[in-house]
Structure 1
Amino acid sequence: MSEEPGGGVPGAPPPLRDIITRHAFRAKHALGQHFLLDLNLTAKIASVAGDLAGRQVIEVGPGPGGLTRALLASNAAHVTAIEIDPRGVAAAEELAAFHPGRLTVISGDALALDLTQLVPAPRQIVANLPYNIGTPLLVGWLRQIGSFERLTLMFQEEVGARIVAAPDTAAYGRLAVLAQWTCDVALALRLPPEAFTPPPKVHSAVVRFLPKAEQPPPELFATMERLTQHAFGQRRKMLRASLKPIGGEALLRRAGIDPTRRAETLSIQEFDRLAKLLRSAADDEPV
């Protein structure tokens, strides 16, 4: 494990192992915690986010603060750390004292917070997400992805693979459609279990999300969520059956899509076409 040089020098934050001991840090399974303490790796993750000059960076789940330190070592204008665990809040507040005016600590549940109201633009999220809430956090941010410049997020490798999956593959599903419909996505880094404390049972992956210039309005995004929920809810069924509650065969024929196909064979463009037709039909319904 690599510690920052000069960790005991006056004016520098104490080494991470001292923070862990002082705040009795033991990863809580209920919070999906696996701490990344190797500062060489946290610096690499921060570098994946690109040039952070002038950016407002949001970190969710900082834990003992390994990635927080890397973000503060960058040229980011400001870092906002959101933490639900009181131990992590205390550790982040201790680190904030060494970086006056550059680190804000918010105690709260990221799932319940609107980050666009908390942090000014231009804003990015760079985070090693808690495993148990990584997917719902991502979907929530995708709903307002136009408000972010970039997301650099770590997930379990299986989740990362689902995000970047191509059509006609086993991993391709709802998460891939929502992410790739709104962003250019790339798997930027893969980390082994032994990089973490405690080691998870799986590898982890850092995924980079670059929002597309044109974003769907909220009503269309909600329609796509509904469409993909039906389409992938019963993967083995033909689309004419899985989409029956929302238009079924008639909707598919209007979109020029063979009703006997299955959801995993559709491209992002085909899902886009279906969502727009479904939205249009909803708009045309009498009030």
Structure 2
Amino acid sequence: MAKQAATAVIKSATRPPMRLPPLPTIRDIVKLYRLNAAKQLSQNFLFDTNLTDKIVKSAGNLEGAYVCEVGPGPGGITRSILKAGAAKVVVVELDKRFNAGLRLLSAAAPGRVEIVNADILTYNLAKALPLDLAVPWEGDPPNVHIIGNLPFNVSTPLIIRWLEALALRTGPFVYGRTQLTLTFQKEVCERICAPPRSSQRSRLSIMSQYLCRVKHCFRIPGKCFVPKPDVDVGVVHFTPLVRPRIQGVPFKTVEKVVKHVFHLRGKYCRKGAAELFPPERQDLLEELFAVSEVDPTVRPWQLTMSEWDRLAHAYWDICQREPWVSDYDFRTMKGEKFEVPPMPAVGERHT
């Protein structure tokens, strides 16, 4: 008991103070440094500390955590992260106008805030934090988090990029199953979290849910932001799965199948899938649905994850047997000459 008490005292002494000294409000910071929101960067400020605290709470327990915050702006969510007990916050901000306000926050929390001026679409998050924070993939998620109020103009390409990094276990996922807590415009949020057979089901639903457990945490009315966006905002929490729901197929291949099938989301899934193959090789389209045992006359949003798994594997098997199929894309092949191998004779067809 005495040993445990001594250990607790040592931990308490070495833990950085969590309470921040008195600081100007975020609204005052914006006025002081004349930080007008840049429309071309899809910037919207959130001044309500109750909402920034709620976003951070959605990430889970941040006591002693290492956090990478995307697009901190004037630092509202950053303050909530620090108040929640994070040991270190690396803020990645493209717009250098916010540096003065962020440096003020860094001075108030010595050693706990690092400012990185970079484009999050190209910045390698594997460099942001010490690699000794990494834990085994099969274990609990590391004490590493990504949190961000994402600009609408980069949210979709960014999450797809992170999902690919997740599949490859690169970038922020070199530490293990790093969790993400992010904001999206309401419509994108609904697509990410849409369950099977929901009319909101989309490419983002499949790509997110085959790799992660996703949770729609809560909605923020657009009127809470300055300037007010035309849409409401949703907060989504991502927890990477130990085992993806589609295994043994490269991320790019899964993405290609899902993207093409959803290209004509209101039509039978056969319509979109037909674009995976040249018109001269309809035998491959027939094989895709025969081998996967997926009904070609259902809509893409009606397919279950198990059916997407079978479609992806059937397509990947065709690509393994006929490598030229991987290079075929009807969008890029329009107007170009593409040598299509002839359909095999009846006796030579794959069974």
Deviation at 1:11, TM superposition (A): 4.6
Matched residue, 1:137? 158
Aligned to 1:222: 252
Q: Which ranges in structure 1 are unaligned for 5 or more consecutive residues?
A: 1-9
CA–CA separation in structure 2 for the residues paired with 1:160 and 1:25: 28
Q: How does 1:221-260 map to 2 (within 5 A)?
A: 221-246=251-276, 247-260=284-297
Q: 1:219 Cα deviation (Å)?
A: 5.8
Q: Which residue of structure 2 lines up, in the alignment, with residue 59 of structure 1?
A: 69
Q: Where does 1:1-287 land on structure 2 (aligned, <5 Å)?
A: 11-120=21-130, 121=133, 122=142, 123-145=144-166, 147=173, 148-215=177-244, 220-246=250-276, 247-285=284-322
**Based on CA coordinates, which of the two structures has the bigger radius of gyration?**
2
Deviations 1:206-247 (A, max 9, x none): 011111111467962111110111011111332222112334
CA contact (8 A) 1:239 1:248 kept: no
> Is the contact between residue 240 and residue 249 of structure 1 (CA under 8 Å) also seen in structure 2?
no
The residue identity in structure 2 corresponding to 1:31 is L
User: Quick one: structure 1 residues 186 and 11, their matched pair in 2 at CA, closer, same or farther if it must change by over 3 Å?
Assistant: closer
Tell me, yes or no, if the aligned pair for 1:241 and 1:248 is still in contact at 8 Å: no
* 1:94 Cα deviation from its structure 2 partner: 2.5
Change (3 A) 1:73 1:11: closer
CA distance in structure 1 between the aligned counterparts of 2:128 and 2:155, rounded to whole angstroms: 20
Superposed CA deviations along residues 52-71 of structure 1, whole A, max 9, x for unmatched, are 13322111111111000000
Tell me the equivalent position of 2:346.
none
Change (3 A) 1:218 1:142: farther
TM-score by length of 2: 0.74
Q: TM-score of the superposition, structure 1-length normalised? A: 0.90
In 1, Cα distance between equivalents of 2:50 and 2:306? 40
Task: Label 1:101 to 1:261 Cα distance change in 2 as closer, same or farther (>3 A).
Answer: same
1:242/1:248 contact within 8 Å kept: no
User: Can you list the C-alpha shifts for 1:128-150, whole angstroms capped at 9, x where unaligned?
Assistant: 11111111111111112351421
CA–CA distance in 2 between the matches of 1:255 and 1:219?
A: 14
What is the CA-CA distance between 1:12 and the residue it aligns to?
Answer: 3.2
Paired letter, 1:277? A
The farther-off stretch of 126-135 and 86-95 is 86-95
Aligned length: 278
- SS of alignment partner, residue 64 of structure 2: coil
Q: Percent identity?
A: 38
**Greater than 6 Å deviation, 4+ residue runs:** none
RMSD: 2.0
Q: What is the rounded CA distance, in whole Å, between the counterparts of 2:129 and 2:206 in structure 1?
A: 27
CA distance in 2, matches of 1:89, 1:138: 25
Higher relative contact order (CA closer than 8 Å, sequence separation 6+): 1
- Preserved CA contact (<8 Å) 2:70 2:91: yes
Which whole-Å CA distance do the structure 2 matches of 1:200 and 1:277 have between them?
Answer: 43
User: How far has the Cα of 1:167 moved from its partner?
Assistant: 2.4
Q: Secondary structure at the match of 1:205?
A: strand
Partners in 2 of 1:272 and 1:116 — Cα distance? 29
Shift of 1:286: 5.7
Structure 2 gap segments, 5+ residues each: 1-19, 134-141, 277-283, 325-351
Q: CA deviation at 1:105?
A: 0.8
